[in-house]
Amino acid sequence: MSETEPTAEQDIPHRVRYDSPQEDRSALTIYVSDEDKQRLRELVDLAESEFDEKVYETDVQVAALRCDFSDDEAFLDEMRGIGYGYFD
């Protein structure tokens, strides 16, 4: 198997594979404006209304970092990639 081929474990989203959102992740300190903090709170609310499960702020921050911060659909797609809604 080449290094670029995903393994079965890599196919399982982070949220499903680990017990904690911090597991297998490193801490990163970033500085954001009050406007960005407000947007992150809005994204937490959006995720909580979309998914019928506990939403971790760490996962919201990771998803927001990976997508267009203003695009709700891209954000929700990233949350699904992390594993939210996996068992729906």
Per-residue confidence (pLDDT) for residue 81, from 0 to 100: 94
Model confidence over 18-42: pLDDT tens digits? 778 788 788 889 899 999 999 999 9
In angstroms, rounded to a whole number, what is the distance separating the alpha carbons of residues 38 and 25? 24
Look up tokens 């929700």; give the residue.
76
Task: Please choose, from the candidates 15, 17, 18, the residue with its C-alpha nearest in 3D space to the C-alpha of residue 62.
Answer: 15
pTM for this model (two decimals): 0.79
Q: For residue 58, what are its two tokens?
A: 């760490």
Model confidence at 80, pLDDT cuts 50, 70, 90, reads: very high
In angstroms, rounded to a whole number, what is the distance separating the alpha carbons of residues 60 and 45? 10
State the DSSP H helix or E strand holding residue 50, giving kind and residue range, or none if neither.
helix 34-50
